[in-house]
A and B are shown apart, each in its own frame.
Chain A
């Protein structure tokens, strides 16, 4: 963009024929024409920069919006919801005057281009969303998906991503308590790096992103603005990768977790002293987003002097300053008489803070540079009234064929020996193997409130030291299920996360999601997206857990090949006293192992079909949300009343996977009997939903059975906790040592 003469609003009005690089900035022709129509003239370079990033898929949700509305329309009544969709993050009431905010976001594209920084700044971004709500961040979780575990590029991407998440999160002092690591060739050129965070605050401390009160000052604080991450949202996150284009590494931001730690402490101190009217973090689209969103959510307009923005590089143009996605920056709206104190707190924490503008009583967002007005827009047209697309969608032609390729017809093990070999192969396969090599690179202990962390079913954090109030979070998603049936796949992701929260003894309250899909310009992908959203919205309605916010990541594809549709669902739960939590590990020999729920021949999309047959076809397990609700109620009651000492949800890998995990974590074996009506293979490998195993002390057996019987939940006593092997009576026995070797060595051998 030319910098001489300065492209002011007046200049733009007088030079209607100047060609602007709208296409290079990722805008479509009709979108550019719409901007001209809104402004009644051509935009200035600075205005174009703002519109281009704010109207990008990543920021505007232009392809997904029409579907996402269902989350609001079908939202179940919930007393717990304090702040819903649309803010930086949703806020949920967890009782005793506490509120919890949580959200999951994607940082997929940057993490492929530059794994360490991409993943690191993903953590940084989600944490700033949490602080911007007024909360102290208390934990992070990281659902991750990579290409095949033995592919050479996975060895480039995964260690970098893991080191980046650890390097940033550990340095911020946030315990990493959950998440997932999944491998599938479909993510080879498009890993999914989703990052979630939880924050805790008192009800009265909730802050919102809005600029109100004419005369109030707009303060930019945190890192200086540099040339990094320009176009991150528009160019990087909103297009598919293409080998023919130049490297996009410069569009990835570089993180400084130390700066972010200072930002957290200084922001929380300003909140404590009630100095902040409105606040917004600078993430995707940087200042363009922060100024336009603050202004459009408030009652007035805003005037900003861009010359006052502290820069790392004095040669940056105003367009670049507006588009920069330099990390660790926040924007606060502060009453004039409180500005000095705000700046003092920033100085205490060695954080640079600058007044860059003020709220006006008009309704325009005006930005000045070198004395000239370079932006004069209605902020709503930038932030909220971007294009909305009704993208065409159609059930893909191959869907029927895929579903007809029934996994239940795959050859099954014929002998006990074969069954045993397949068990070893399953628990040692990359997806089912222990992820300890990865999670041991994250700090689980910092802040001293971690009750449960991965590989537990959900991460759990104590909120109040006196009462023991705690929150739990689980994130789940299964792209294989969703590929077979996106509607059911999304519901199964929710079911699993909901179940995981309940398994640890917490009551599920609310949902955040990260919807990872391919290109919305492909009708087949758009159909997957529409189905998944519909499925999730319907299921949230039925389970009474509203979606409080989340993120959509589209264009996750390389060339024509899209990733599996991958809705990742986070469920937040509450537990009155963390002393009642239920761990996964078997605790005591002789305790009775019960299987809760119904087991059917369901192998479509299963881990068994993938590991043994490299197969994906058929239908995913049947969804039964009422069963999930009942199972959750039983698990929560049993945990509260001390009827169970361990519990583990059944999901990918089936019962045998769950038993092996509980055994290895507890250092205790199990002796199991195949229940009547089931064959050993189905018993071990089926992935029917709505199931869990629990270990019941003998003294509680009658009470536990009575409870399940009274509520109508099918249960079967399948065995006892034993000493040092997992034995399936009449079939085979595997020592814990053999299982440990198979389960715990895989990831390190492939990736270290």
Chain B
């Protein structure tokens, strides 16, 4: 048996097909979900992919957060459904208050696309079990509004509870506070990050690394062994 992992397409989602491919390469079954449809088709986990949903108008993720599909995602995430938000998906998760903090424009004011070095700071979430604690990985990053911010209290709390999942290493590409690249919720089922693991799953494509594949094998193992 395998797991069924849903990938939501919002208007303006860009990496939805790439994410489906990554899920397939990991051995799970991707299921396309549509933003206007509340039905999650009984998937075992959901990925909110990268892109510019609603053109990032108003604020990245601010409009998608009110999509019909998000009502169900929010409800089920609170009940334990594993949810991964990549880039724009991360922005949607903070807008939906499934994750704390928010994203501002990059401090250098430019879009940035690079192969980014990260450290896995929490290998205990639903999406990071196949990494080693403190493993250093390279994952492509590409964003305009990637500067993670939160108040000091929240940041301290995230750190104290081990909820910073990924940290930028060597170079902070967007001015994120405390070099935070990704975080999780209290339960560890909801993870959001700015870099794009779905772009690092095949040796020939993109940067040629496969450091992103464990995201998808992690969740698969967790679901299949559950």
On A, residues with C-beta under 8 Å from B are: 163, 166-167, 170-173, 256-259, 261-262, 349-350, 439-451, 462, 465, 578-579, 581, 752
Known contacts A256-B55, A441-B110; A446 and B204 CB within 8 A of each other: no
A residues in contact with B207, CB < 8 Å: 445
Q: Is the CB of B18 within 8 A of A441?
A: no
B12 at the interface (CB under 8 A from A): yes
Nearest to B203 among chain A residues (CB) is A579
Chain B interface main SS type: loop
Q: Is the CB of A258 within 8 A of B15?
A: no
Contact of B204 among A256, A440, A443, A579 (CB under 8 A): A579
B140 at the interface (CB under 8 A from A): yes
Q: Is the CB of A443 within 8 A of B142?
A: yes
Q: Is the CB of A445 within 8 A of B113?
A: yes
Q: Is the CB of B144 within 8 A of A449?
A: no
Q: Is the CB of A446 within 8 A of B18?
A: yes
Contact of A441 among B55, B112, B204 (CB under 8 A): B112
Known contacts A257-B52, A258-B57, A446-B18; A166 and B205 CB within 8 A of each other: no
Contact of B14 among A439, A444, A446, A450 (CB under 8 A): A446
Sample of 25 A–B contacts (CB below 8 Å): A166-B111, A167-B111, A170-B144, A171-B14, A258-B11, A258-B54, A258-B57, A261-B14, A261-B52, A439-B113, A440-B113, A443-B111, A445-B113, A445-B199, A445-B207, A446-B15, A446-B142, A447-B17, A448-B21, A448-B22, A448-B201, A448-B202, A448-B205, A451-B204, A462-B204
B38 at the interface (CB under 8 A from A): no
B residues in contact with A447, CB < 8 Å: 14, 17-18
Q: How far is the CB of A439 from chain B (nearest CB, A)?
A: 8
Give CA–CA (A173, B52) in the complex, Å: 9
Q: How far is the CB of A197 from chain B (nearest CB, A)?
A: 16
Give CA–CA (A449, B21) in the complex, Å: 11
B97 at the interface (CB under 8 A from A): no
B residues in contact with A167, CB < 8 Å: 111, 144
Known: A261-B12, A465-B21, A752-B108; 4 extra A-B contacts, CB below 8 A, are A171-B56, A173-B51, A441-B111, A448-B18
Q: How large is the interface on B (under 10, 10 to 19, 20 to 34, 35 or more residues)?
A: 20 to 34
Q: How far is the CB of A556 from chain B (nearest CB, A)?
A: 28
A residues in contact with B51, CB < 8 Å: 173
Known contacts A171-B55, A441-B113, A444-B113; A350 and B11 CB within 8 A of each other: yes
Most B Cβ at <10 Å: residue of A259, A261, A350 = A261
Q: How far is the CB of B36 from chain A (nearest CB, A)?
A: 8
Q: Is the CB of B110 within 8 A of A448?
A: no
Give CA–CA (A166, B14) in the complex, Å: 14
Q: How far is the CB of B90 from chain A (nearest CB, A)?
A: 16
Contact of B206 among A163, A259, A442, A444 (CB under 8 A): A444
Contact of A442 among B17, B111, B205 (CB under 8 A): B111
Q: Is the CB of B111 within 8 A of A170?
A: yes
Q: Is the CB of B15 within 8 A of A173?
A: yes
Known contacts A171-B56, A445-B142, A448-B17; A440 and B12 CB within 8 A of each other: no
B138 at the interface (CB under 8 A from A): no
B167 at the interface (CB under 8 A from A): no
Give CA–CA (A443, B144) in the complex, Å: 11
Q: Is the CB of A448 within 8 A of B204?
A: no
B residues in contact with A449, CB < 8 Å: 205
B residues in contact with A440, CB < 8 Å: 112-114
Residue-wise, chain B 191-226 has the 8 Å CB interface mask toward A (1 for contact) of 000001011011011110000000000000000000
A residues in contact with B140, CB < 8 Å: 445
Q: How far is the CB of B16 from chain A (nearest CB, A)?
A: 9
B residues in contact with A443, CB < 8 Å: 111, 113, 142
A residues in contact with B201, CB < 8 Å: 448
A residues in contact with B54, CB < 8 Å: 258
Give CA–CA (A368, B148) in the complex, Å: 55
A residues in contact with B142, CB < 8 Å: 170, 443-446
Chain B residues 89 to 135 lying within 8 A of chain A, measured CB to CB, are 108, 110-114
